[in-house]
Structure 1
Amino acid sequence: MKFQSTRGKAPLVSGLQALMNGLAPDGGLYVPAVFPKLDFDWERLKDASYVAIGTQVLSLFFDEFSEAEITNFLTEAYENFDYPQKVKIQELDSRKDLLELFHGPTLAFKDMALSLLPYLLTAAIQKTQHKETLVILTATSGDTGGAALNGFNNVTQTKIVVYYPSVGVSKLQRQQMTTASGKNTHVVAVTGNFDDAQKAVKQLLIDQELIQRMQARSLRFSSANSINIGRLAAQVVYYVYAYAQLVQKGRLKAGQTLDVTVPTGNFGDILAAYWAKKMGLPLGKLTVASNANHVLTDFFASGIYQADRDFKVTSSPAMDILVSSNLERLLFDLAGADSVAGWMKDLAEKQTYEIDDKTLAKLQKQFNAAFCDSAQTSQTIKKIFTENNYLLDPHTAVAVAVNENFPSPDQQLIVSTASPFKFAETVLTALGQTAAADPELNLNKLSQFSKQAVPAAIADLFTKKPVHTQKLAIKDLRADLIETLGL
C-alpha cells in the first residue's frame, strides 16, 4: 500500500512513512494511492470481535505489519476500556441506534484512534530503524488533547505537544489536559480558537528551518490530529464493527443499506464512514451534523466554503471549528489534486473557496448536512432523557437533532462521540437542574439525578493538581516550541 498527498506535489510514501510524517511535505494530507476493498463475509463478521475486525481493516492500510502485530496493537490499545466489546450499540427506537464510542480512558471517541496510534507509530519507528524522537504536534478543540496525552503518556521515542484554546473547552477537558503527568508532555493554552491553533500546527509541521534544526537534534515532527492517516484508518474500523453488530442483533439484514449521522467539526469521523463505504460497506446517506458554527452546512448547500465568519463558542465545544481539515481528503477523492491545491490556496489566502458544480453535485448525492444551535441541543438532551431515560452529551444531541431533518426508509446509525459526564454542566442545565461552579460537584449531581455512576476514568480527576499552566499567543508558539525542544 502506498499513500499520496491530496495536493499532488509530494512523492508516494509507504504506510510507515505516512504514519510518521503526519502531514505531507507539500502541506497536503495522505490518502491511499489505490483504495483497498474489504471482504464482507457477514456470517463470519457478525460474530467477530472488535480486535478481529480491526485486524482485517488495518492490515489493508498498513501491510508492512503482520496480522499478528496488528492484533497485538489493538489488544493492548483497548485493554483499559470500560466496556468489554470496546464500543456499544444502544437502541434509540425501532429505526435508530446510537454507536457509543466513549468507553475509553478519556470518555470520547478520540480514544478509539489515539489509544492505538502510539502503537502504530512506535512500531513504524522500529521497522524503519529510525533513531529520531517523534515530536507529536497536536491542536485540539478539547477531546483530541486529552486522548493524545493519555495515549502517548511516557511512550519511548516520543514527545507530545498539545495546544488548546483558552476559551471554549469544558472544565473537565481542561483538567484532563492540564493534569497530564507524562515526562514527555507539553501542554499550552492559546489565546485563540481551535482554527488558530490548527493553522499554527500545520505551519510548524512544514517549517523547513525548524525541521532542519530538529534533524540536528535527532527529532522529527508527526501529528496526532486527524490529519494523521493512522487516525483515519483506525476510525474506519468502528463503522464495520457497528454494521456487523447490527446484523448480529437482527437490526439489519446483511447487505441492507445503513444511513449514518455524525456530529462533526474537523470532518475526520464522518470521513472515516465515507472511506468505509468506499471499501464496500453498505452505507447510504451520510449526514454531517454541525452546531452553530455551521460552515459545513453552508458549504454542502452552496459549494462555497466561507471560513471568514464569526466564531461561536457553543455547548458542543469539540465541534467549534471553522476550518475542517479532513474535508480536503473528501474533495481530493471527488475532484483530484489540482483542484484541491487551488481551493486550499484560496482558503489560506482569502479564507474562502468555491467548488465547481460537478463536484458539488457529487457531494450532495452522498451527503446530507444541517445544524442545530445550543437551545435545540438542550431541548434534545431533555427530550431523549424524558422519553428514553438515556443521557446524551451535547455533541451527540446535535447529531440526534439533525437526524430528524432527514427522514429515511433505511436504518439509521447515529454516532455518539462523548460521555454525558464529560459535559456535566451542560447536561444538568438542559435537564432543568442548576449546575454548580464546582465541576466535581456537577459530576455527582448528574450521577444522582440520572442514577448512573460517575465513570471510573474521571472519578478522581479533580483531585489532581494541574501541572501545565502556560498560556501563550499564537505568535509565540514557535519560540516556545524551540525552547521546549532545546533547539
Structure 2
Amino acid sequence: MFYRSTRNSGVNVTSAQAIAQGISEDGGLFVPSEIPAISMDDIKKLGEMSYAERALFVFSKFLTDYTEAEIRYCVEGAYNTKNFDTENIAELAHLFDGTYMLELWHGPTCAFKDMALQILPYLLTTATKKINLDKKVVILVATSGDTGKAALEGFKDVPGTEILVFYPDNGVSAMQKKQMTTQEGQNVGVCAIKGNFDDAQNGVKAIFTNKEIGEKLAENGMMFSSANSINWGRLAPQIIYYVSSYAQLLKDGEIAEGDKINIVVPTGNFGNILAGYYAKKMGVPVNKLICASNANNVLTDFIKTGVYDRNRQFYATISPSMDILISSNLERLLYHLCGENDAQIREWFGKLASEGRYEVTDEVKKILAEEFYAGCCDDEKTKATIKEYYDKYSYTCDTHTAVAVSVYEEYVKATGDKTKTVIASTASPYKFSGSVLSALGKDNGSDEFTLVEELGKASGMPIPASLASLKDKEIRFSEVIAKDEMKDFVFRALNVK
C-alpha cells in the first residue's frame, strides 16, 4: 500500500517514507491509497488475541512495506506491562447497561496519546533504516498538553533522534506542565510559547514546510519528522483500539456478531475520532461517530453546518487538550469525502489560511450528517457531569472524558438511539486533579500534589506512580518565547548556526 498527499494526489510514497517524513513537502497530510478491509471472521479471531497481536494484525494491513518481524518487534516493544499498568493495554469498563468506557490512559503518561506514542519511536526508527536514512531525525511537536509528554517519554534517549516540544504557556494543566518541564533525557527540549495551541501548531507546520530551514538542517545531517497526529505513524495505532474494542465486546458476549456500536470521542484536533472513522471503513460495524467538543466548538458547528470558521473567541477551559480552533486531521477526512480531489482540498485549506473560513459542498455536508453527530459543552456542564457520574456510578471522569459523556447524553435525548456505545476516556482524572475535585466540591486550594492525594481518597483509584514521582523532580525547562521565535529556538537547541 502507498500513501498520497491530501494536497497532491500524485505523491506516492511507502508507509516507511510517510512515517519518517511526517508531513508531505506540499503541506498536505499522508493518507492511505485505499482503506483495507477486515471481515467479521477476522474480528472474531482477534477477540482471542492479546492487544499486541491485534495490533500486529491491523498494522500488517496498513504498513505493507514492513515485514512481519519488523511489525512484531514494534508492537511487542510498545504494548507490554512494562509500559502499561494493565495486561489489556486498553481497558473496557462497563459503566452501565450498553455503555462502556474505553480507558486509554493506562500508559506511562496517563493519557491516550501513549497508545500511539509508545510505538511511534519503534515505527520511526524502523522506517529510517528501511529507507536508508543516515540523518538524525528531529521530532518537532506542538502540544495542548498530553501529546508533548507522551512524545517526550516515547523518544527519550532513542538513538538517532532529538525531540523538541512547544506548548502554550497558560494553556495546559499544572500537572501537564510539570510532566513536560521535568522531562529526563539527553535528546529532549521543551519550550513554552506566548499564545495558544493553534499558534504552536501553526509555528511547527511553518518550520516543517520551510525549504530553507530544511536545507539548513540537511547541511547539519538532520531532518524533521513529527510526533503529532499529522504523522500517519501517530494515527494508525489509534485505529487499533477501536478494532480491538469491538473484538473484545464480541468475545465477552456484550454484543452479537454484526451488531453496530456508537463511538463517542472528545476531540480537538480530530485525530482520535478520525481513527474511529477508519476502523468503520475497514469493516468494524459502527453506527454513529459522536464528536464531542468543549466551549471551543468549531467542530460542532462544522459538522452541523458544513462551514468551518475559526474566526471566533478562543476559550481556555478545564479540558485544555481540546482547546483547539484548527483541527488538522479534518483535512484527511475531507480528502476522502470529496473523492480525493486534491484541488478542492487546496482551495478549502487555502481559504482557511487566508480567511479563517471555508464551506464544503452539499454532498460532503450530507455524508458528514450520515456519519457523525456533534455536540459541545462548557466548563459548568463538564463539572456537573463529573459530579453526576461520581454520585451515580462511583466512576471518576477526567475533564475531557466528561465532555464526551455529556455530549453522549445529549445525543441520546435528541435521537432516542439505544445502540450500545463505547466512550473514549482519554486521560486519567489525576492529570486534572484540581478541576475534578472542584467538580466534586472537594477542592481545598492546595498545591497540585496535595490535590492528587485528595483525589485518591475521593475516587479510591490508585495514584499513578509516574505522576506521584513528579513531586520532587527538578524543573529542567522554563524558557518562554514569543510565537515568532520558534525557529530561533529550534536552531539554538540543535546547535545549528
What is the TM-score when the length of structure 1 is the normalising length?
0.98
Given candidates 152, 157, 167, the residue that maps to 1:164 is 167
Q: Which residue of 1 aligns with 2:431?
A: 422
CA deviation profile, 1:101-125 (whole Å, cap 9, x unmatched):
0000000000000000000000111
Q: Which residue of 2 aligns with 1:456?
A: 465
The whole-number CA distance in structure 2 between the counterparts of 1:422 and 1:63 is 37
Corresponding residue SS for 1:210: helix
Answer whether contact 2:295 2:378 (CA < 8 A) is retained.
Answer: yes
The whole-number CA distance in structure 2 between the counterparts of 1:222 and 1:236 is 21
Q: Which residue of 1 aligns with 2:35?
A: 35
Q: Which residue of 2 aligns with 1:8?
A: 8
Work out whether 1:84 is the aligned partner of 2:87. Answer: yes
Q: Cα distance, 1:382 vs. partner?
A: 0.5
Query: 67-76 or 323-332: which moved more?
Result: 67-76
Work out whether 1:255 is the aligned partner of 2:264. Answer: no
Given candidates 368, 377, 384, the residue that maps to 1:363 is 368
Answer whether contact 1:46 1:245 (CA < 8 A) is retained.
Answer: yes
Q: Which residue of 2 aligns with 1:59?
A: 60
Identical residues among aligned pairs (%): 44
Query: 369-378 or 37-46: which moved more?
Result: 37-46
Corresponding residue SS for 1:405: helix
Q: Within 5 A, what are the aligned runs for 1:91-102?
A: 91-102=94-105
Corresponding residue SS for 1:44: helix
The whole-number CA distance in structure 1 between the counterparts of 2:460 and 2:301 is 40
Aligned length: 487
Q: Cα distance, 1:130 vs. partner?
A: 1.0
Q: Which residue of 2 aligns with 1:431?
A: 440
Q: Which residue of 2 aligns with 1:296?
A: 299
Corresponding residue SS for 1:369: strand
CA deviation profile, 1:375-433 (whole Å, cap 9, x unmatched):
00000000101011110001000000000122213111110000011110011000011
The whole-number CA distance in structure 2 between the counterparts of 1:45 and 1:435 is 47
The whole-number CA distance in structure 2 between the counterparts of 1:11 and 1:485 is 30
What is the TM-score when the length of structure 2 is the normalising length?
0.97
Q: Cα distance, 1:147 vs. partner?
A: 0.1
Answer whether contact 2:156 2:188 (CA < 8 A) is retained.
Answer: yes
CA deviation profile, 1:221-271 (whole Å, cap 9, x unmatched):
100000000111100000011001111121111211011110000000000
CA deviation profile, 1:184-239 (whole Å, cap 9, x unmatched):
11100000000000001011001100111111111001000000001111000000
Q: Which residue of 2 aligns with 1:48?
A: 49
Evaluate the alpha carbon distance shift between residue 10 and residue 211 of structure 1 in structure 2; reply closer, same or farther with a 3 A threshold.
farther
Q: Cα distance, 1:338 vs. partner?
A: 1.6
Answer whether contact 1:137 1:161 (CA < 8 A) is retained.
Answer: yes
Work out whether 1:395 is the aligned partner of 2:400. Answer: yes
CA deviation profile, 1:156-196 (whole Å, cap 9, x unmatched):
11110100000120011001100111111110000000000
Answer whether contact 1:10 1:26 (CA < 8 A) is retained.
Answer: no
Evaluate the alpha carbon distance shift between residue 119 and residue 195 of structure 1 in structure 2; reply closer, same or farther with a 3 A threshold.
same
Please identify runs of 4+ aligned residues in structure 1 that moved more than 3 A. Answer: none
The whole-number CA distance in structure 2 between the counterparts of 1:301 and 1:450 is 36
The whole-number CA distance in structure 1 between the counterparts of 2:320 and 2:112 is 14
Corresponding residue SS for 2:86: coil
Corresponding residue SS for 2:224: strand
CA deviation profile, 1:283-330 (whole Å, cap 9, x unmatched):
111000000000011111111111111110001000000000000000
The whole-number CA distance in structure 2 between the counterparts of 1:112 and 1:421 is 18
The whole-number CA distance in structure 2 between the counterparts of 1:151 and 1:13 is 25
Q: Which residue of 1 aligns with 2:17?
A: 17
Q: Cα distance, 1:10 vs. partner?
A: 5.7
Q: Cα distance, 1:43 vs. partner?
A: 3.3
Give the aligned residue type for 2:435. T
Q: Which residue of 1 aligns with 2:206?
A: 203
The whole-number CA distance in structure 1 between the counterparts of 2:384 and 2:190 is 35
Q: Which residue of 1 aligns with 2:71?
A: 70
Query: 36-45 or 268-277: which moved more?
Result: 36-45
Corresponding residue SS for 2:375: strand
The whole-number CA distance in structure 2 between the counterparts of 1:102 and 1:233 is 18
The whole-number CA distance in structure 2 between the counterparts of 1:386 and 1:248 is 31
Q: Cα distance, 1:357 vs. partner?
A: 1.2
Q: Cα distance, 1:9 vs. partner?
A: 6.0
Q: Cα distance, 1:134 vs. partner?
A: 0.5
The whole-number CA distance in structure 2 between the counterparts of 1:485 and 1:196 is 22
The whole-number CA distance in structure 1 between the counterparts of 2:298 and 2:44 is 41
The whole-number CA distance in structure 2 between the counterparts of 1:27 and 1:55 is 30
The whole-number CA distance in structure 2 between the counterparts of 1:303 and 1:169 is 30
Unaligned 5+ runs, structure 2? none
Corresponding residue SS for 1:311: coil
Give the aligned residue type for 1:2. F
Q: Cα distance, 1:451 vs. partner?
A: 2.2
Corresponding residue SS for 2:411: coil
Give the aligned residue type for 2:238. Q
Work out whether 1:404 is the aligned partner of 2:409. Answer: yes
The whole-number CA distance in structure 2 between the counterparts of 1:374 and 1:290 is 11
The whole-number CA distance in structure 2 between the counterparts of 1:223 and 1:45 is 30
Work out whether 1:152 is the aligned partner of 2:152. Answer: no
Give the aligned residue type for 1:485. L
Q: Cα distance, 1:78 vs. partner?
A: 2.4
The whole-number CA distance in structure 2 between the counterparts of 1:103 and 1:25 is 35
Q: Within 5 A, what are the aligned runs for 1:367-378?
A: 367-378=372-383
CA root-mean-square deviation: 1.0
The whole-number CA distance in structure 2 between the counterparts of 1:239 and 1:272 is 8
Q: Cα distance, 1:74 vs. partner?
A: 1.2
The whole-number CA distance in structure 2 between the counterparts of 1:458 and 1:314 is 22
Answer whether contact 1:148 1:224 (CA < 8 A) is retained.
Answer: yes
The whole-number CA distance in structure 2 between the counterparts of 1:74 and 1:460 is 27
Q: Which residue of 1 aligns with 2:146?
A: 143
Work out whether 1:26 is the aligned partner of 2:53. Answer: no
Give the aligned residue type for 1:279. M
Evaluate the alpha carbon distance shift between residue 201 and residue 175 of structure 1 in structure 2; reply closer, same or farther with a 3 A threshold.
same
Answer whether contact 2:169 2:192 (CA < 8 A) is retained.
Answer: yes
Give the aligned residue type for 2:48. D
Corresponding residue SS for 1:286: strand
Q: Within 5 A, what are the aligned runs for 1:108-127?
A: 108-127=111-130
Work out whether 1:477 is the aligned partner of 2:477. Answer: no
Corresponding residue SS for 1:90: strand
Corresponding residue SS for 2:245: helix
Unaligned 5+ runs, structure 1? none
The whole-number CA distance in structure 2 between the counterparts of 1:39 and 1:457 is 39
Corresponding residue SS for 2:410: coil
Corresponding residue SS for 1:108: coil
Q: Which residue of 2 aligns with 1:105?
A: 108
Answer whether contact 1:78 1:104 (CA < 8 A) is retained.
Answer: no
The whole-number CA distance in structure 2 between the counterparts of 1:285 and 1:480 is 43
Q: Cα distance, 1:356 vs. partner?
A: 1.3
Evaluate the alpha carbon distance shift between residue 159 and residue 10 of structure 1 in structure 2; reply closer, same or farther with a 3 A threshold.
farther
